[in-house]
Amino acid sequence: MELPKSSNYPRHARAYVDYCLQKGGVPDASSFAQYTTDLPPNRVSPIRKFMLFYQRIGQPRVVPDPKPSKIPPTANDLIQRFIQEAKTLQGERSRQTYTKALTTFFAYMNRQQQMGKPASLSGLTVTEFVHHLLKENYSPFTINLYLSAVKQLAIWCIGQREALMLTEIQLSNLGDIKAVRGLTIDRRTVSSTV
C-alpha cells in the first residue's frame, strides 16, 4: 500500500492495534466499530485502510512487541555498524525495524548461551530462533522479516570478513544462514468486513 510521507496512517493504525491488544481482542469488525465510534472521519479512514490491508494479508495473529532485553555490547556494536553501513536499508523506519529484529535475535542467542546451550551467528541457531518465534506466536510475516534481517547481517559480515577478522568456521556458519527457509504466508483474499 503506497502512503504519502506525511500520512498519519501508521500512528492511527498502531493506536488501534494497541487498543485491540489491551482489550484482549483482535482487529475485526467489532473492535473496529467500538474503537472508532467517537472518532472523527480523518482518524477513522486510516484505520479502515489498515483493516483492508490486514485482511488482504490473511489476518495474521497480532502479538505485542517483545520486551527489550539486554544484549552483549559487542552484539550491539555489530548491529549499529551494520545499520550504518548497509546500503539496502532505505529510510529510518527500515533501520528501526532491522535494529529491533537483530536485537531480538541477539537477545535470544544471549539467553541460550546463558542457559549453557550452544548459540552463535549460524544456520542452526537461526533455525532454532525461527522455531522460538513460532512458539512465541509471532506472525509468519514478522518471522520472515526478522529472518531477512539476520540473513542481511550475515551477508554483510561475510563482506566485512577481514575487518571483522572472521575465522573459516565463522564464515562457514554465516554461509549456512542463507539456507534457512522462511515461512509460507497465507495470502488468501479475505472479503472486507469493514
pLDDT in tens, 76-91: 889 989 998 887 777 7
If you average pLDDT over residues 115-136, what whole number do you get?
Answer: 92
Question: pTM score, two decimals?
Answer: 0.60
The predicted pLDDT at position 73 comes to: 78
User: What is the per-residue pLDDT across 168-186, written as a single tens digit (0 to 9) for each?
Assistant: 999 999 999 999 998 887 6
187 pLDDT exceeds 70?
A: no
Q: What is the pLDDT of residue 186?
A: 67
Of all residues in the chain, the percent with pLDDT exceeding 70 is 88
- CA-CA distance, 141 to 40, in Å (whole number)? 31
pLDDT band at residue 2 using 50, 70 and 90 as cut-offs: very low
- The per-residue pLDDT of the chain, averaged, comes to 84
SS3 at position 79: helix
Q: What would the pLDDT profile of 137-169 be if each residue is shown by its tens digit?
A: 999 999 999 999 999 999 999 999 998 999 999
**Res. 190 pLDDT band, cuts 50 70 90:** very low
Note the pLDDT of residue 22.
87
**The pLDDT value given to residue 189:** 39
How far, CA to CA in Å, does 50 sit from each of 112, 132, 194? Answer: 36, 28, 10
Buried b (16+ CB within 10 A) or exposed e, 19-53: bbeeeeeebeeebbeebbeeeeeebbebbbbbbee
Residue 149 sits at the vertex; the CA angle it makes with 71 and 22, to the nearest 5 degrees, is 70
pLDDT of residue 60: 84
pLDDT at 87: 78
- Label residue 13 by pLDDT band (50, 70, 90): confident
Q: Which residue has the higher pLDDT, 5 or 86?
A: 86
